[in-house]
Amino acid sequence: MSIDKIIVSSSDAKYFELLKELFLSLKHNKVLDEYSFGVLNTGMSKDQIDYMKDNNILVKEAIWNVEVPKYKILGRDHLKTQVARAFLPDYFPDYKVYIWLDADLWLNDYESFKLYEQGALQDCIAITPQSDRAYFNNANVEWFMNFPKKVKTINYKNIGRSVSKKLGKKYAFYSTLNAGAFGISSNDNIWKGIQNNIKLAAKKGRIFGTDQVALALSIYEDKIPTQFLPAYCNWMCEFHLPLYDEVTNKFLEPYLPNHPLALVHLAGLDEIRDQKGLTTNIKTKDGKILKKSLRFNV
């Protein structure tokens, strides 16, 4: 059977265990019956690469797909994927659906995850904004004598520093589009639009956040068709811990209707990403408190 859909992630040696858990979560949920799995290598060891290849995972070396001043890179090869994710059809040609997943994500519920594919097949960018009723603090403002002195949002900071203050102000209070997970079809116009904005965002050499800047400009400024997915499709645990259902063994959104989370995202939780055995107080659907890890564990 020919597989025409691919999920792509990336890793260096440090993130390998997280990448491995992402892979095992996909395998456990039988996603890889329908999808190929590809990895952009940004510094994995030979043994780690061999593990990938032994499990029929496609491994490609990430490159700097846009010009970036060398003094801005300083050996940080892991930043290659800030730009490389905009060029997935160049690394893995001839697929109809491309889904990007950061290594610090893992798949919790396949049915919810399928929304990325559904959105992509409508010739849209399928992506989850960092907005939800459970995410209480979306912006910070410094006040002086009852007047706002400084606005602090991710869009304002990233777009303002990478492209222009004018565009940063324009989209300061638009939802941050989380670049850790998105789905796009093979539609060349969509990819070219994002690639143009990646080049624009990387022009000043500020690489971290380039991916989110490019997606924000492609969607908000260039009006590329988009399916904005609900927060449960890419749950940011640092903003609000999920619930856990002991019957289904799945994490859920914390408020009604307690929908199963498609992806559990560990961005910002450095201790949990570094220590697999670290547990957190997690409330169950029935109101109990469990000591449980947020990492993937069958």
As beta bridge partners, residue 260 has: 252
Tell me: pLDDT of 38 over 80. yes
Q: Which of 59-68, 69-78, 92-101 is predicted least confidently?
A: 69-78
Which CATH number is 5-132+176-232 given? 3.90.550.10
What's the pLDDT at 206? 77
Tell me: pLDDT of 90 over 80. yes
Tell me: pLDDT of 166 over 80. yes
Stretch(es) of the chain classified as CATH 3.90.550.10: 5-132+176-232
Prediction pTM value: 0.92
Kindly indicate the confidence band of residue 77, based on its pLDDT and cuts at 50, 70 and 90: confident
Q: Mean per-residue pLDDT for 122-146?
A: 84
**Is 271 buried (19+), middle (13-18) or exposed (0-12) by CB count in 10 A?**
exposed
